[in-house]
Amino acid sequence: MAELRRYRTVVSDSALWAGFEFRTGDVVISTPAKCGTTWMQMLCAMLIFDTAELHRPLTEISPWLDAVTYDTAAILAELESQQHRRFIKTHTPLDGLPFEAGVTYICVGRDPRDAMLSFEHAAANIHPDAITSGGLDPQVSQPPSEDPLERFWLWADAEFTPESSTFGVTLANLVHHVRTFWERRDDPQVALFHYADLKADLPGQLRRLATVLSIEASEQRLEQLAAAATFDRMRKRADELAPGVDAKLWRSNTNFFRSGTSGQWHDLLDPAAVERYTGRVAELAPPELAKWLHTGWSGLR
C-alpha cells in the first residue's frame, strides 16, 4: 500500500484520520472547498435517513473529521457513538485518505473559476470572533490584493502544495484533488459528481447517488427529497445546514449559501484572460479531466 500523502493547512491536518476506525458502509465525502460539500452531505443525509428533516445540525451529524479547529477527540467519540450509516466530511484528496474496503469515497467537482469566487465570498463572511477564538491569524481571511483580477492570477498560477499556512485553496490544489479521484473513477468504491450536473438534474443525480450507496428509493420519493435539497430550500435552512454553525463561524449563516450560481467569472475574465487560464489548466490536467472540470459528465457525452 502506498504511503499516504499528508495534507496540512491552517484549518486541517489529514494525519487526524489515523485515529478513526472505519466501518463497512461508511461514506467519506471528500471535496475541494466550495465545490458542493454541504450539498452532498445533505443529499447523503436524506437518502440514509429517508427524510429531509434532520434531528440536529448537519455539521454535527456529518462532522469535518480532520479539521484542527474542532476537538478531534470529541468528533471521534461522536462518530463512534453513531448507530446509523456514517458519512464524514473532509477536504483531503484521495491520496491522503486511508482507503478501506467497504467504504465509499465521494468527490464533487466544480468549474474552478466558480469555486474560487465562491471561496472569496465565504472568506469574507467568516466572523472575526471565529478567527481569533479558533487560533487563526486574522490575516488568513484577508485578500492578498485589492484587485480581484490580481487575486485570480495569484490563485491560478500558484503551484501545488500539500502544506499551506493559509487555507490551501489554489487552482493547482483543486485540480490535484479532483485528479486523485479521476484516476480511480472506475473503482466501485469511488464516485465523482459535478456541481453543474447537480444544478441541471438534481433528481437524476440523487438517483445516481442512491445507486452508489446501494439505497433503494422510489422515483416519487427521490423527487420529493430532491425538491427539499434545492439551493433555495437549503438557504432557508442555513441555521441548521451551514457548516460551523455550532462554532458561530459566519457573520451570516444565510450568506454561506450566497447564490449557488455558475458563470460569475465571466464578469472578471476577458477572452485573453480565459485563454491564459485555459493554458494554465492544460498544464495541470489531461484534456478529458479539464473538460469534465468545466462541464461535468454531461459535457463528455
- Cα distance between the two ends of the chain: 34
How far, in Å, CA of 34 to CA of 115, rounded? Answer: 5
How far, in Å, CA of 47 to CA of 217, rounded? Answer: 8
CA neighbor of 238 nearest in space, from 137, 122, 156:
122
How far, in Å, CA of 134 to CA of 128, rounded? Answer: 10
Active site residue 55: no
Identify the residue whose cell numbers are 430532491. Answer: 226
Q: Check 55, 91, 121, 127 and give the catalytic one.
A: 91
- Exposure on the CB side of residue 203, measured as CA atoms within 13 A: 9
C-alpha cell at 200: 441541471
- Which amino acid is it at 86? R
Q: How far is CA 34 from the centre of its chain?
A: 6
Residue 219: which H helix or E strand, with range?
helix 219-227
- Which amino acid is it at 260? G
Q: Is 221 exposed, middle or buried (0-12, 13-18, 19+ CB in 10 A)?
A: middle
CA neighbor of 215 nearest in space, from 87, 83, 58:
87
Apex 279 CA angle, 281 and 191, nearest 5: 20
Question: Which residues touch 222 (CB under 8 Å, ≥6 apart)?
Answer: 203, 206, 207, 210
Residues forming the active site: 91
